[in-house]
Structure 1
Amino acid sequence: MTRPIRIFINGFGRIGRTLFRQLLTEDARTRFEIVGVNDIAPLETCAYLLRYDSVYGLFPKAVETGHGWLGISTQRIPFFGSSDLRKLDLRHVDVVLECTGRAQDRATAEAGLDAGARNVLISGPSEAADTTLVIGANERELGDARIVSNASCTTNAIAPLLRSLDLGLGIERAHVTTIHCYTGSQPTVDQPGSSLERSRAAAVSMVPTTTSAADQVMGILPEFQGRLSIAAVRVPCLSVSAIDATIQVVESLDQPMKDFLREAFEGSRVIGLVEDPCVSTDFRARPESLIIALPETQTNGSRQVRLFGWYDNEWGFSARMIEMAERLTVRDA
């Protein structure tokens, strides 16, 4: 495709704004064009939250607003405040990045298609999607799907790792715990929530909870049914999450596990490696789905492995969404 891929962002929350930041980098600007943004929040509020971000800091360019547009330096991007995408004309759009978190029914999920867009990519789990894909795990199953779920950030961290290790070593069984930073779904003070644990203040306690990744990974990698369990703990950190995995491999390791990991993931854009002892803040704005911490790698005997990895649950996930949007458009070319 000789022209840039035309992107429309529906929902300008955490993921929508993170996608916006990445799509306006110098590298991405040659491949993508943001042709519109839609959010029901006031334009001035959206511009303010783009300009000042508690995780990623100041936006690197001037942010301005006008009647129906969001200005970045000299570029004016149309900004809409519609609660129904069907009221907009999206016939010029290659991919709607659906980031409202509301595309859980078919009517909402396909609203972008009804408005004329060629594809819809949902920034989270959705049973209304034609398919759920994770780059590094099952992206080759795209087929002719027009509404695609990009799964969850944790699924993007876990599924490529398990697939690679299963192909390279064979996995007999595995347990993964995601240590996830708190999100907007949790209260800032104790108040009734979706579960007793989720009713507690997010920023002062570690909260054992469930994760949608448990079902999603099974759907993406059905061969793991019966040999994988996944649990979650929400922790009082604002950004960057982690996974802690204990894996029983089929064959005895014939080389140090760290060497195997270096060989398996050298040059991978999906799974990275870090040799230094690090902490979570060191991984803000890292684009990989998972970065394995080699100093934390342990083996118990010849077949049990413990792996620990970091992931920026907003930035890395958004990077995979952009890659998936590119795949959707290349398929259509």
Structure 2
Amino acid sequence: MKIAINGFGRIGRTILRQILTSPRGSGIEVVCINDITDAEMCAYLFQYDSTFGPYPGEVSLEAGTLCVDGRQIALHQEANVTNLDLAGVDVLMECTGIARTTDLAQRGLTAGARKVLISGPSPAAEVTVVYGVNDADLAGAKIVSNASCTTNAVAGLVQLVDAVAGIEAGHMTTIHCYTNSQPMVDTPRGDFARSRGGAQSMVPTTTSAMHLIDVVLPRLKGRISGAAVRVPTASVSAVDLVATLQSEWDQSDLLMALKASANGSPILGWTEQPLVSSDLRARPESLIIAAPETRMVGTQQLRIFGWYDNEWGFSARMLDVARAMQP
């Protein structure tokens, strides 16, 4: 499969790392990378990463070509991706974060790519997909949204709990590390709380996952509410879900049923260890359920907690969905 990456930021660089260093990248050829940042900066930020550490191989730049462990990848600095020749590209990974209009989302197709996969929520997408939850909805769509990192984490968890015990209603809080959407120190933004320094405070805010859960799991529409708290850590986030179940359960029986289902999932993990967020860095699962933090109150109220690397896990799902988009 041939892919191109448009936007070489956090997700674009993480996708390339996974292609080059993990079995998930088997059979994938990266035709080119496009980013308006100059080539030297692109190469530098790929080689040295504050979250995941230095790239474990050889990285160099030769005449506008990124050379990684002997592979040569063309680097472009086109503001408009339609100026590129993407003929033969199976999937354009649209990772700029700006493809929110039909015009911007279709530019990859105009350039010659067969399909476009957007690394975030986008009203311009034909379908929003969470791998392992509703990827059957792809059905030949050419412009697809990979939803958000939190939607990927929550949707898989909610689907699991509903399948095992039935969810009457639930509330989710994502405890989310800071991102580039927040300032490092107080700076005016559209939202008062999100204008505060992300590295200095816990910031209560909203999450797009709540709308997207209704999209990818329509049978649970209106049953799940949620919010977010941005916290001063650089990577790995968490989901804290409290759900009222449709049936009565003994705690040990429910934990056994949830564990068995999670262990059979292509996107979920399970841990019995008392882990902290840094232990989950660079894990590819959409969510790793933490058994020590999961418990019942009575027989019908469940509190379930899980970790997710919001960059690495999300990038892994980008690659899974890209493969699923192929006929």
TM beyond 0.5: yes
- Say if 2:232 is the partner of 1:236: yes
Is 2:323 aligned against 1:326?
Answer: yes
Aligned: 1:142 with 2:142? no
Give structure 1 regions of 4+ aligned residues with deviation exceeding 3 angstroms.
none
Structure 2 match to 1:214:
210
Pairing 1:88-107 to 2, within 5 Å after superposition: 88-107=84-103
Match of 2:121 among 121, 125, 129: 125
Per-residue CA deviation, residues 102-146 of structure 1 (Å, 9 max, x unaligned), is 100001001000011001000000000110000121111111210
Q: SS where residue 128 of structure 1 aligns?
A: coil
Amino-acid identity (%): 52
Alignment of 1:45-194 (within 5 A): 45-194=41-190
The answer on 1:282 being equivalent to 2:270 is no
Between 265-274 and 228-237, the greater mean CA deviation after superposition:
265-274
**In structure 1, what is the Cα distance between the partners aligned to 2:21 and 2:50?**
19
Supply the distance in 2 between the matched residues of 1:160 and 1:7 (Cα, whole angstroms): 26
Query: How far, CA to CA, are the matches of 1:133 and 1:143 in structure 2?
Result: 11
Shift of 1:73: 2.2
| 2:94/2:116 contact within 8 Å kept | yes
Deviation at 1:175, TM superposition (A): 0.4
Displacement of 1:263 in angstroms is: 1.1
Corresponding residue for residue 293 of structure 1? 290
Report the Cα offset of residue 58 of structure 1.
0.6
Equivalent residues of 2:140, 2:325 under 8 A apart: no
Query: Which amino acid in the other structure matches residue 130 of structure 2?
Result: V
Per-residue deviation, 1:168: 2.0
| Rounded Cα–Cα distance in structure 2 between residues aligned with 1:265 and 1:76 | 39
What's the secondary structure of 2:325's corresponding residue?
helix
Of the three residues 6, 9, 16, the one matched with 2:12 is: 16
Match of 1:272 in 2: 269
Q: In structure 2, how many angstroms separate the alpha carbons of the residues matched to 1:28 and 1:171?
A: 33
Question: Contact between 2:214 and 2:222, CA under 8 Å: does it hold in 1?
Answer: no
CA RMSD of aligned residues (A): 1.1
What is the TM-score when the length of structure 2 is the normalising length?
Answer: 0.98
Is 1:305 matched up with 2:302?
A: yes
CA–CA distance in structure 2, aligned partners of residues 92 and 69 of structure 1: 19
Q: Which moved more, 1:59-68 or 1:126-135?
A: 59-68
Map 1:247-262; keep pairs closer than 5 Å. 247-253=243-249, 256-262=253-259
Contact 2:126-2:143 at 8 Å conserved across structures: yes
Instruction: Give the partner amino acid of 1:160.
Output: G
- Once the two structures are overlaid, the 10-residue window that deviates more, 120-129 or 219-228, is 219-228
Q: Secondary structure at the match of 1:21?
A: helix
**1:277-309 CA distance string (max 9 Å, x none):** 010000000000000000001101111100010
2:31 to 35, 41, 49: 35
Equivalences, count: 326
Q: What amino acid does structure 2 have at the position aligned with 1:84?
A: N
